[in-house]
């Protein structure tokens, strides 16, 4: 195909979005994919490609959708990686999270029973460091799915909203975000909001509602733009086979199992005990159906029996929903707004772990630890955006034993990354400024038991562990997960406080919010229906505020404020401010000086470009020694001041070189060794001698110092100064080490 024919095949559309055009192109690139779209904002360009398998995948009971978010170093004009590897590898956590954001918007729009593999690639082709690539990538994916033949409702539009000086801003630039109190990513269909992800600096519920309304308006403008394109060039959607259903078998099983299901839901049972009852009913379904429909064609009966487990699962979920909608009754007869039993405690582990806490809500239990490290322990991220350092990390672990299961998936997956990031975003706004608390901070949550809302347990546990470790957070953060059960035909929506497993599996929403008494710090909303009415957001935010306050009261009963003292096993950090020009003196040639300090004292030293030197050590004596050493290195000699010095070189007939102020050299001229005339330097001092000397002259421009040993004592009675010698004070300088004259002796150290 010639270049001209490629260009003719391409279709381009433009939408004025605020003060910037959003440009989409399709039809020219990657034409063997089901659908491909380029989305451009400024010079930021993202490509999305959608591919769908020809046949459903056997043996899966979930929607097999995979969103892959690909960072390309060339997009930012970078060649990154180690010296030995320059190819992009597995996406970093940040890009896994961005892929999840795209996924969470698209997933509810597909039929729940589709089993064809759907793969959506989002690839960043160009990044201008001004217009964020995730907005471009999400919209490229939204349109590509709409144009493909894969059945999906929509189309969708995605925007990012900032809050700067109280004003809402659409798709703020990278620079503007530094001033924003809100980072809200929102996806909406033509009718409703579908997905929300947000980090906030203790923003009020009222401002969050304003941002959602504002974002919805702009996202729907994009969705309408995409709908017009879809109508023009979109492919016809293929038909998905309806899920298996046999009404007679369903009603038979319902009559058989419903009394047991109803009782198991209402009784105050442990999660695993209730799950066993449900599993037993599902396992027995095939036998019951075989017995009931024995006269059926054997092949049809085999197929029916194979679906027995699914039919019972549907009955269980239906009864969970019915009890909530009709009776206001939840698992264990819990009420709609009731939060499960709470407990919180600190110092679960010895003080060698700098801070530890255990947070439990019902049968969800999280153990969180806090570790303090030096500035050099920051996590370095490298990619197309350049380098970035993180001083706070939160890692979330969800082992299979936490739900009483075995699994061969033992490594960290996307879910762990997502839950860990939510807790991290919730805590970031309350962390102390680095200049006030220069530690690198890592919290780790080990989920030991899980029955829903484990990411919120991680948030609450992190707050407790940080305070127990003595991290001066500005306010404690608590979190809660809200659920939703709806009857859309009747327009009935019931919000559940403190979501647990069965309500999550069978419900319509997982709405997680973290915050302080002042306001919200993070939001993550996932839904299974095709959008939420606006009224749900207001009620959810109000319910969240009430629930967070109840949880926070229990947390504060365990520890009311950050401790004033750190663990005795935590490192101490002290700072020394040096002039930026003196950084090279502290580092030394090839790092020689700083390596010597760290080796001899055992401390860690980190230096910022501003000249701020961080000294980290658990040993106070070593800390003080290193601090004095650095202060000595950068100190400027003062005329008339006494210094301790060590003789490091003898220059015959001229004098001695003495090291003082931790690395500085000064000349003790032969005439300044003693009051009497000296013929041989080594008659007075030798290499290795430690002496006290007086600074008699300092040339700041040349960085040269002249010291005197004789002036440490008064001249003897009746002393008559000897005649000046060549190179001495006041006479012509012929020897090395003098000021202003030619240096003929050995070079100064």
State whether residue 680 is helix, strand or coil.
coil
Would you tell me how many other CB atoms lie within 10 Å of the CB of residue 358?
22
CA-closest candidate to residue 435, choices 573, 562, 567, 624:
573
Q: Report the mean per-residue pLDDT for the chain.
A: 91
Read off the pLDDT of each residue in 92-102 and give the average, rounded to a whole number. Answer: 94
Would you tell me how many other CB atoms lie within 10 Å of the CB of residue 167?
8
Would you tell me how many other CB atoms lie within 10 Å of the CB of residue 264?
22
Cα gap 745→749, rounded to integer Å: 12
Question: Among 123-127, 527-531, 695-699, 736-740, where is mean pLDDT lowest?
Answer: 736-740
Task: Provide the CATH number for the domain formed by 572-634 in this structure.
Answer: 3.30.1370.10
pTM for the structure as a whole: 0.86
Residue 741's pLDDT band, with cuts at 50, 70 and 90, is: very low
CA-closest candidate to residue 28, choices 57, 51, 49, 59:
49
User: What pLDDT score does 411 carry?
Assistant: 81
Cα gap 292→678, rounded to integer Å: 120
Task: Provide the CATH number for the domain formed by 247-333 in this structure.
Answer: 1.10.10.400
State whether residue 223 is helix, strand or coil.
helix
Cα gap 717→728, rounded to integer Å: 23
- Domain spanning 343-558, CATH architecture: 2-Layer Sandwich (3.30)
Name the pairing type of β-strands 478-487 and 440-449.
Answer: unpaired
Q: SS3 breakdown of the chain: % helix, strand, coil, rounded to 5?
A: 35, 30, 35
Distance of CA 142 to the CA centre of its chain: 25
Residue 8's pLDDT band, with cuts at 50, 70 and 90, is: low
Cα gap 614→378, rounded to integer Å: 13
Instruction: Match 């002796």 to its residue by tokens.
Output: 745
Would residue 328 be called left, alpha or beta, if left means φ above 0 and alpha means ψ between -120 and 50 degrees?
left
Read off the pLDDT of each residue in 728-734 and give the average, rounded to a whole number. Answer: 39
Encode pLDDT of 429-467 as tens digits.
999 999 899 999 999 999 999 999 999 999 999 999 999
State whether residue 486 is helix, strand or coil.
strand
Q: Is the peptide bond before 561 cis (omega within 30 degrees of 0)?
A: no
Cα gap 94→101, rounded to integer Å: 11
User: What pLDDT score does 632 carry?
Assistant: 86
Residue 559's pLDDT band, with cuts at 50, 70 and 90, is: very high
Residue 724's pLDDT band, with cuts at 50, 70 and 90, is: low
Q: What angle do CA 749, 631, 391 make, to 5 degrees?
A: 115
Give the percent of the chain with pLDDT over 70.
95
Stronger pLDDT, 130 or 61, i.e. the higher one: 130
User: What pLDDT score does 742 carry?
Assistant: 35
Radius of gyration of the chain (CA): 35
Would residue 525 be called left, alpha or beta, if left means φ above 0 and alpha means ψ between -120 and 50 degrees?
beta
CATH superfamily of 3-233: GHMP Kinase, N-terminal domain (3.30.230.70)
Q: Residue 246 burial (CB < 10 Å; 0-12/13-18/19+)?
A: middle
Query: Is the CB of residue 95 less than 8 Å from the CB of residue 121?
Result: no
Query: Is the CB of residue 424 less than 8 Å from the CB of residue 393?
Result: yes
Domain coordinates in residue numbering, the chain: 3-233, 247-333, 343-558, 572-634, 642-712
Cα gap 122→37, rounded to integer Å: 10
Question: Among 446-460, 551-565, 718-732, where is mean pLDDT lowest?
Answer: 718-732
Would you tell me how many other CB atoms lie within 10 Å of the CB of residue 33?
18
User: What pLDDT score does 385 carry?
Assistant: 85
HEC per residue, 386-416: EEEEECEEEEEECCHHHHCCCCCCCCCCHHH
Encode pLDDT of 45-91 as tens digits.
999 999 999 999 988 889 999 999 999 999 999 887 777 888 888 88
Read off the pLDDT of each residue in 162-178 and give the average, rounded to a whole number. Answer: 94
Query: Is the CB of residue 323 less than 8 Å from the CB of residue 329?
Result: yes
Flag whether pLDDT at 657 surpasses 50.
yes
Cα gap 289→305, rounded to integer Å: 6
Query: Is the CB of residue 511 less than 8 Å from the CB of residue 481?
Result: yes
Flag whether pLDDT at 202 surpasses 90.
yes
Query: Is the CB of residue 430 less than 8 Å from the CB of residue 521?
Result: yes
Task: Provide the CATH number for the domain formed by 642-712 in this structure.
Answer: 2.40.50.140
Stronger pLDDT, 679 or 105, i.e. the higher one: 105
Distance of CA 334 to the CA centre of its chain: 34
Encode pLDDT of 204-237 as tens digits.
999 999 999 999 999 999 999 999 999 999 999 9
Cα gap 127→47, rounded to integer Å: 12
Beta pairing partners, 14: 23
Q: 3-233 with 343-558: one CATH topology? A: yes
Q: Residue 315 burial (CB < 10 Å; 0-12/13-18/19+)?
A: buried
């Amino acid at each position: 195909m010639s270049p001209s024919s490629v260009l003719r095949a391409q279709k381009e559309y433009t939408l004025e979005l605020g003060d910037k055009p959003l440009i989409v192109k399709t039809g020219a690139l990657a034409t063997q994919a089901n659908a491909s779209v380029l989305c451009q904002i400024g010079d930021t360009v993202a490509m999305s490609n959608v591919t769908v398998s020809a046949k459903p995948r056997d043996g899966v009971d979930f929607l097999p959708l995979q969103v892959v978010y690909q960072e390309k170093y060339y997009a930012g004009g970078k060649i990154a990686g180690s010296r030995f590897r320059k190819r992009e590898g597995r996406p970093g956590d940040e890009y896994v999270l961005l892929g999840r954001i795209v996924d969470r918007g698209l997933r509810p729009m597909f039929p729940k029973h589709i089993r064809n593999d759907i793969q959506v690639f989002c690839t960043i082709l160009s990044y201008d460091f001004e217009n964020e690539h995730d907005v471009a990538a999400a919209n490229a994916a939204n349109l590509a799915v709409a144009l493909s033949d894969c059945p999906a409702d929509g189309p969708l539009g995605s925007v990012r909203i900032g809050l700067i000086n109280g004003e809402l801003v659409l798709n703020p630039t990278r620079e503007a975000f530094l001033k924003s109190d809100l980072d809200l990513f929102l996806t909406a269909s033509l009718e409703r909001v579908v997905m929300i992800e947000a980090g906030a600096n203790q923003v009020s519920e009222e401002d969050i509602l304003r941002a959602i309304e504002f974002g919805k308006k702009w996202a729907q403008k994009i969705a309408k733009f995409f709908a017009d394109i879809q109508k023009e060039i979109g492919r016809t959607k293929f038909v998905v086979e309806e899920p298996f259903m046999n009404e007679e078998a369903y009603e038979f099983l319902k009559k058989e199992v419903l009394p047991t299901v109803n009782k198991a839901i209402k009784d105050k049972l442990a999660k695993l005990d209730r799950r066993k009852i449900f599993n037993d009913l599902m396992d027995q379904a095939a036998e019951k159906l075989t017995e009931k429909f024995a006269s059926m064609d054997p092949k049809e009966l085999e197929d029916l029996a194979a679906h027995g487990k699914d039919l019972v699962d549907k009955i269980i979920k239906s009864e969970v929903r019915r009890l909530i909608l009709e009776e206001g009754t939840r698992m264990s007869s819990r009420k709609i707004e009731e939060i499960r039993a709470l407990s919180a405690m600190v110092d679960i582990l010895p003080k060698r772990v700098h801070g530890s806490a255990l947070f439990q809500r019902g049968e969800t239990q999280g153990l969180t630890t806090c570790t303090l490290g030096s500035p050099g322990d920051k996590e370095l991220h490298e990619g197309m955006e350049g380098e970035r350092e993180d001083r706070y990390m939160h890692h979330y672990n969800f082992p299979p034993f936490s739900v009483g299961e075995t699994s061969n998936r033992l490594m960290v997956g996307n879910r762990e990354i997502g839950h860990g990031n939510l807790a991290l975003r919730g805590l970031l706004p309350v962390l102390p400024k680095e200049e006030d608390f220069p530690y690198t901070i890592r919290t780790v949550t080990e989920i030991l038991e899980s029955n829903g809302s484990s990411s919120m347990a991680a948030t609450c546990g992190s707050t407790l562990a940080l305070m127990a470790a003595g991290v001066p957070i500005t306010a404690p953060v608590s979190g809660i997960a809200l659920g939703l059960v709806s009857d859309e035909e009747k327009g009935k929506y019931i919000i559940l406080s403190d979501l647990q497993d069965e309500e999550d599996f069978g419900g319509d929403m997982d709405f997680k919010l973290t915050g302080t008494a002042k306001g919200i710090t993070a939001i993550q909303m996932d839904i299974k229906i095709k959008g939420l009415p606006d009224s749900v957001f207001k009620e959810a935010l109000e319910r969240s505020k009430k629930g967070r306050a109840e949880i926070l009261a229990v947390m504060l009963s365990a520890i009311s404020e950050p401790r004033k003292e750190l663990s005795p096993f935590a490192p101490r950090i002290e700072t020394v401010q040096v002039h930026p020009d003196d950084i090279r003196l502290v580092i030394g040639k090839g790092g020689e000086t700083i390596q010597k300090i760290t080796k001899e004292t055992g401390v860690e030293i980190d230096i910022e470009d501003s000249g701020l030197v961080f000294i980290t050590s658990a040993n106070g004596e070593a800390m003080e020694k290193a601090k004095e050493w650095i202060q000595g290195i950068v100190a400027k000699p003062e005329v008339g001041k006494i210094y301790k010095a060590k003789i490091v070189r003898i220059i015959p007939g001229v004098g001695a070189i003495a090291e003082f102020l931790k690395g500085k050299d000064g000349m003790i001229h032969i005439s300044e060794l003693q009051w009497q005339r000296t013929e041989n330097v080594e008659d007075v001092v030798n290499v290795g001698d430690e002496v006290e000397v007086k600074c008699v002259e300092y040339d700041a421009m040349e960085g040269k110092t002249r010291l005197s040993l004789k002036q440490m004592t008064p001249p003897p009675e009746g002393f008559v100064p000897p005649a000046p010698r060549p190179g001495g004070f006041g006479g012509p300088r012929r020897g090395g080490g003098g000021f202003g004259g030619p240096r003929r002796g050995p070079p100064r150290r």
